[in-house]
């Protein structure tokens, strides 16, 4: 069963700085051992102008939990997560998801 590491990036004070850091962050993500898929999504703004629940998400797919855990613990994983934390000021939520096809 596929495991995804889902990173939810909170609303940031300086989204422009994050967007400038994003290409480097994605390059580091692509270097993760065992990575099978990578998606990045920006949360649509609300029509009424109220804050969104988050700014952006990143989804990193692996063959299973063991592979995802090994990637996160690898030197490449440390470089990737260090970049994510640095680019967001730590304003993230990280989830390991057991992906179910329905």
User: Could you state, in order of their start, the residue ranges of all structural domains in the chain?
Assistant: 3-98
pLDDT digit string, tens, across residues 80-91:
999 999 999 999
pLDDT confidence of residue 102: 87
CA 87 to chain centroid: 11
pLDDT digit string, tens, across residues 14-65:
999 999 999 999 999 999 999 999 999 999 988 898 889 999 999 999 999 9
Average pLDDT, the chain: 95
Say if CB 94 and CB 7 are below 8 A apart.
Answer: yes
pLDDT confidence of residue 45: 87
Say if CB 65 and CB 98 are below 8 A apart.
Answer: yes
Residues forming beta bridges with residue 61, ordered by sequence position: 4, 37
**How many percent of the chain have pLDDT more than 70?**
100
C-alpha to C-alpha distance for 52 and 30, rounded to whole angstroms: 28
pLDDT digit string, tens, across residues 91-100:
999 999 999 8
pLDDT confidence of residue 4: 97
**Domain 3-98 coded CATH 2.40.50.140:** no
């Amino acid at each position: 069963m596929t495991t995804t590491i889902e990173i939810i990036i909170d609303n940031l004070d300086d989204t422009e700085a994050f967007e400038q850091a994003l290409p480097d962050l994605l390059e580091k993500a692509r270097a993760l051992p065992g990575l099978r898929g990578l998606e990045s999504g920006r949360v649509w703004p609300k029509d009424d102008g109220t804050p969104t629940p988050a700014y952006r998400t990143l989804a990193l797919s692996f063959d299973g939990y063991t592979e995802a855990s090994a990637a996160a613990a690898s030197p490449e994983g440390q470089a990737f997560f260090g970049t994510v934390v640095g680019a967001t000021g730590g304003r993230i939520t990280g989830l390991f998801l057991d992906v179910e096809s329905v």
